[in-house]
Amino acid sequence: MSKPSQPTHVVIYCRVSSKKQATDGQRLNSQESRCRDYARDKGYRVAAVFTDDVSGGGDFIKRPGMVRLLSYLDENADRSHVVIFDDLKRYARDTVFHLKLRQEMALRNATRECLNFRFEDSPEGEFIETVIAAQSQLERQQNSRQVRQKMRARVLAGFWVFRAPVGYRYEKSKAGGKVLVPDPEAAPIVREALEGFATGRLATQSEVKRYLDLSPGLLYRANEAVYKQRIREILECPIYAGYIEAPAWGIPLMKGQHEPLITYETHRRVLERLHRPEGTFVRQDMRDDFPLRGLIVCACCERAMTAARSKGRSGKYPYYFCQTKGCTHSGKSTRKEKIEGEFEMLLDHLRPSAQVMAMLRVMVAETGDERQRTQAQQSAALKTEMAEVERKKGLILNRLLATSEPALVSIYEDQIRGIQKSKIELEEKLAVEPRPIVDIETCYRTALSFVAYPRKYWDSSDLKRRRLVPKLLFGGRLRYDRNEGYRTGGIAHPFRTLRLIEEAKSDLVPRRGLEPPRLAALLPESSASTNSAIWA
């Protein structure tokens, strides 16, 4: 390629492989300074400087600085240019892309000059340039392989080497290298989100998202789709439970050398809930004056009833009603006082007697004693199960070593991964010290209080507590017929059992069959007429 006799414009190109190298090692400003000195010695005038702090994997199209340089040459095609760069490795470290970039420069009538290499427009010069480009590519690939090998070895030692998950950060270790440590500010928030989802306190991924939105600096929101994917990645990540894995490198789930935020059991519950469909709907328009809104369903169409205030002669009056098209009760309203009054009568009827509650407390105490007796047996059973898991793993490993069939190898590897996860669960259970046996009455005080008198929680001024009552008693699916009243075939098992004990019929099948009796036969005559179908 011939060099122009009097180049009027010079551009400089500088590149480092990472943002960190932009300030450390071969800094961009050092490269630019050497190139400017070279241009000054040649009598060139520098028109522009283009820089890159990304590798691009050898592809110059992935380098913003190089793309801007080529665009600059296109915009100034009426002028001849000299492109100066510090080192041939800064130009391109891939043979194919090096040759393509040389062609792009030639098409734009740009002359290339390098501080440590002389370009010659001859077959021998092009051959030497190609050899050096191939050598640079070899060095890049060898460096990449060496880095991967070191990273894989570190992962096998139990250290995470990729981007720190949300809630963690890297710190230098005294033993060398960097290790994950919980971030003092972010870790408690992530822990609460994971535990809340595992227990159901945060019912859906959307609720986890809303909880994390309270700390806007915790996650970078590039766009809504990416943000939702980040939420799922947090929930699925085993690092929070103290484990790491790298399937792309053939590294199965293993214990990590970092402090966990949650237990593996909690992580397992999170994964189980992730595979369930999100069916929980949280109303945003709940009001104190309609606590049963959305919790009672029309007995005719099985759809949730809504509530509103209707305008009358002297004001607005509250009603519950069904609004399902085609339902025979659609648009027919029932006074709030009637529906909620009958619900309170139902709560009073479900309240166990003092004798039955005393019997229940005795049963609970006996359960605590039984738990204490079986605690040692459970520990022994876990150890036996662990030994069986080790035995199975050894058998499958022997089969894996003895076969060369790719299909069988894949099957055995999947089985080993499954066994490894079971082993991790058992190890965590065995590592947990037995909890000290506390007074069982203290543990179940709140539950026993609710069973003894559910009406107390309904009479609370807290809307969330009031709405919890029908959910605990009937699963939030309390059927109501505007003519016959409540139908409670789905009453919670503890209250149904206590009712049978109350009636002394727990050992015998009633002569009228297994269907629960109607409330009309159980309530006093004064209230039977308004609740004739409550147990239907």
Give the pLDDT score at 532: 38
Task: Confirm whether 407 is domain-assigned.
Answer: yes
Q: Which amino acid does the sequence have at 380?
A: A
DSSP 8-state code for residue 202: S
Rounded mean pLDDT of 519-528? 43
Q: How many domains does the chain have?
A: 4
Task: Confirm whether 285 is domain-assigned.
Answer: no
Q: Look-up: residue for tokens 């209707």?
A: 310
Give the pLDDT score at 194: 93
User: Dihedral through CA 390, CA 392, CA 394, CA 397, nearest 10?
Assistant: -130
Of 391, 419, 440, the domain-final residue: 440
Q: Look-up: residue for tokens 């139990």?
A: 158
Lowest mean pLDDT among 187-196, 295-304, 379-388, 441-450: 441-450
Of 380, 412, 440, the domain-final residue: 440
Task: Confirm whether 95 is domain-assigned.
Answer: yes
Rounded mean pLDDT of 78-96? 80
Confidence of residue 4 (pLDDT cuts 50, 70, 90): very low
Same domain, 52 and 18: yes
Structure tokens at 361: 């407390």
Same domain, 121 and 189: no
pLDDT digits (tens, 9 = 90+) for 258-303: 999 998 889 989 998 888 765 544 555 556 788 888 888 898 898 8
Rounded to 5 degrees, φ, ψ at 387 are -60, -40
Q: Which domain, by its residues, includes 88? A: 9-145
- Of the chain, the percentage scoring pLDDT greater than 90 comes to 10
Q: Look-up: residue for tokens 């943000």?
A: 227
What count of other Cβ atoms lies within 10 Å of the Cβ of residue 320?
A: 22
Mean pLDDT is highest, among 102-106, 298-302, 382-386, for: 298-302
Lowest mean pLDDT among 99-113, 129-143, 436-450, 503-517: 503-517
Separation between Cα atoms, residue 115 and residue 135, nearest integer Å: 18
Task: Confirm whether 190 is domain-assigned.
Answer: yes
Q: Residue 515: pLDDT above 50?
A: no
Give the pLDDT score at 508: 45
Of 243, 274, 305, the domain-final residue: 274
Same domain, 55 and 201: no
CB burial of residue 52 (10 Å; 0-12, 13-18, 19+): buried
198 or 174: whose pLDDT is higher? 198
Give the pLDDT score at 126: 80
pLDDT digits (tens, 9 = 90+) for 41-63: 888 888 899 988 876 555 667 78
What count of other Cβ atoms lies within 10 Å of the Cβ of residue 162?
A: 10
DSSP 8-state code for residue 330: B
Predicted TM-score (pTM) of the model is: 0.52
Same domain, 199 and 125: no
Task: Confirm whether 160 is domain-assigned.
Answer: no
Rounded mean pLDDT of 441-457? 78
Q: How far is CA 202 from CA 96, 274, 447, 491, in A?
A: 53, 12, 21, 25
517 or 28: whose pLDDT is higher? 28
CB 492 within 8 A of CB 475: yes
CATH of the domain at 192: 3.90.1750.20
Same domain, 336 and 369: no
Same domain, 30 and 141: yes
CATH of the domain at 84: 3.40.50.1390
Rounded mean pLDDT of 116-136? 81
Same domain, 138 and 17: yes
What count of other Cβ atoms lies within 10 Å of the Cβ of residue 532?
A: 18
pLDDT digits (tens, 9 = 90+) for 302-338: 888 888 888 877 788 899 999 898 898 888 888 999 9
Same domain, 261 and 246: yes
Task: Confirm whether 164 is domain-assigned.
Answer: no
Rounded mean pLDDT of 428-447? 65
Q: Report the candidate in 312, 310, 283 with the shortest Cα–Cα distance to residue 295.
A: 283
Lowest mean pLDDT among 32-46, 207-221, 265-279, 402-416: 207-221
Give the pLDDT score at 523: 43
Task: Confirm whether 168 is domain-assigned.
Answer: no
* Beta strand segments in 421-524, E: 478-481, 485-487
Lowest mean pLDDT among 260-269, 323-332, 438-447, 514-523: 514-523
Structure tokens at 48: 């522009």
Q: Residue 233: pLDDT above 70?
A: yes
User: Average model confidence (pLDDT) for the chain?
Assistant: 79
Same domain, 131 and 55: yes
Same domain, 230 and 260: yes
Q: Residue 239: pLDDT above 90?
A: yes
Task: Confirm whether 460 is domain-assigned.
Answer: yes
Radius of gyration of the chain (CA): 37
Rounded to 5 degrees, φ, ψ at 466 are -65, -45
Separation between Cα atoms, residue 340 and residue 318, nearest integer Å: 11
DSSP 8-state code for residue 206: H
What count of other Cβ atoms lies within 10 Å of the Cβ of residue 513?
A: 8
Same domain, 435 and 489: no
Rounded to 5 degrees, φ, ψ at 85 are -140, 155
Q: Report the candidate in 175, 215, 178, 174 with the shortest Cα–Cα distance to residue 193.
A: 215
Same domain, 64 and 135: yes
